[in-house]
């Protein structure tokens, strides 16, 4: 893969599971041994001066050791991803079942969402899209100050953008079984388009999330992406129905984020007391760049009655 060409395979640590021949000896020794020790693994990783950890693991496995800002993932259109994984299981794992049997297994539902469970997409250092691989690689290289070349080695189709052909019955079933993955992908795509537009205009990107838009307050968190001055707090504008409702600085502690090792020790939160009504449209903006989050305004809903 391109990363191996850039870093060399000796500088990449792999985790593809305990029984995989691809999994690095360092991972097997510290994470799959008789007494797994993640912190000692981190120390060994630093001692080895590894440049990258790669593999098919859930995001929570390493995020608290190395930080969410150093984490990248690629998402894929969910239906095509299931079809691709089925082809992989048939080709490499000797799977004998039908496609329908494969995708009907609950373990195969919403796999991308499960892999990212516990971490908001807005916080992840970089989310690339398989369908937008060249643009994803552009941003990845800029984000980390590296120059990984474009390659398309690990694929089961002649071209990366080729589509698996699915019949209508399978499409309907896959959409029903993977609703949460589809919603995740749509949200990630909106974030990607926003970030890429900022990237092309040479504007810094902020990891930012609107957490709450209630009838009494607006709150969230925001920090600069890794290639920028990450300790500089962000000034945030709160817009309601396309009118500026107020401004606030993102300097409050968000304890739930601390395990992700965000900048400023987790002091990246903000809140603005404001009286809103059900149906109001709320969106925030980074004052210095105009970056909007979420990508489309959120509607205020009626508070639940006790």
Take residue 302 and report the two structure tokens written for it: 């009626």
- Confidence (pLDDT) at 228: 59
Query: What is the domain-level CATH number for residue 242?
Result: 2.60.40
- How many angstroms separate the CA atoms of 131 and 87, rounded? 18
Structural domain total, the chain? 2
Same domain membership, residue 157 and residue 123: yes
Contact partners, residue 45, CB within 8 Å, separation at least 6: 13, 26, 53
Per-10-residue mean pLDDT of the chain, 306 residues long, equals 79 92 94 94 93 92 94 96 94 91 96 96 97 96 88 54 86 98 98 97 96 97 81 96 98 97 96 96 98 97 72
- Confidence (pLDDT) at 8: 82
- Please state, in angstroms and as integers, the Cα–Cα distance from residue 193 to each residue in 71, 122, 210, 273, 299, following that order: 19, 13, 18, 30, 21
Same domain membership, residue 290 and residue 221: yes
- Confidence (pLDDT) at 164: 86
Take residue 177 and report the two structure tokens written for it: 């079984």
Same domain membership, residue 213 and residue 162: no
Same domain membership, residue 259 and residue 191: no
- How many angstroms separate the CA atoms of 104 and 270, rounded? 43
Q: What is the pTM of this model?
A: 0.90
Same domain membership, residue 230 and residue 99: no
Question: Which structural domain, as residue segments, surrounds residue 264?
Answer: 206-299
Same domain membership, residue 223 and residue 149: no
In this structure, is residue 36 part of a structural domain? Answer: no
Contact partners, residue 124, CB within 8 Å, separation at least 6: 59, 68, 71, 72, 73, 116, 207
Q: Tell which of 137, 168, 200 closes a domain.
A: 200
In this structure, is residue 145 part of a structural domain? Answer: yes
């Amino acid at each position: 893969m391109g990363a191996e060409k850039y870093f060399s395979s000796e500088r990449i640590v792999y985790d593809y599971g305990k029984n995989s021949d691809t999994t690095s000896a360092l991972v097997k020794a510290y994470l799959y041994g008789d007494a797994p020790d993640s912190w000692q693994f981190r120390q060994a990783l630093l001692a080895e001066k590894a440049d990258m950890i790669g593999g098919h693991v859930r995001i929570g496995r390493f995020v608290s050791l190395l930080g969410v800002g150093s984490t990248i993932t690629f998402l894929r259109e969910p239906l095509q991803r299931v079809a691709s994984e089925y082809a992989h299981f048939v080709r490499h794992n000797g799977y004998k079942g039908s496609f329908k049997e494969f995708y009907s297994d609950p373990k195969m539902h919403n796999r991308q969402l499960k892999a990212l469970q516990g971490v908001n997409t807005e916080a992840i250092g970089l989310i690339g899209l398989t369908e937008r691989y060249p643009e994803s690689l552009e941003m990845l290289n800029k984000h980390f100050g590296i120059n990984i070349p474009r390659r398309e080695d690990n694929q089961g189709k002649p071209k990366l953008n080729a589509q698996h052909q699915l019949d209508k019955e399978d499409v309907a079933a896959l959409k029903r079984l993977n609703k949460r993955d589809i919603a995740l992908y749509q949200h990630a795509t909106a974030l990607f388009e926003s970030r890429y537009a900022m990237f092309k205009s040479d504007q810094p990107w902020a990891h930012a999330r609107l957490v709450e838009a209630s009838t009494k307050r607006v709150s969230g968190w925001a920090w600069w992406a890794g290639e920028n001055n990450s300790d500089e707090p962000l000034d945030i504008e709160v817009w309601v129905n396309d009118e500026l409702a107020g401004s606030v600085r993102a300097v409050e502690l968000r304890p739930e984020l601390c395990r992700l090792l965000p900048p400023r020790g987790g002091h990246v939160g903000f809140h603005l007391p404001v009286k809103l009504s059900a149906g109001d449209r709320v969106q925030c903006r980074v004052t210095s760049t105009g970056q909007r989050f979420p990508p489309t305004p959120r509607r205020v809903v009626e508070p639940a009655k006790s």
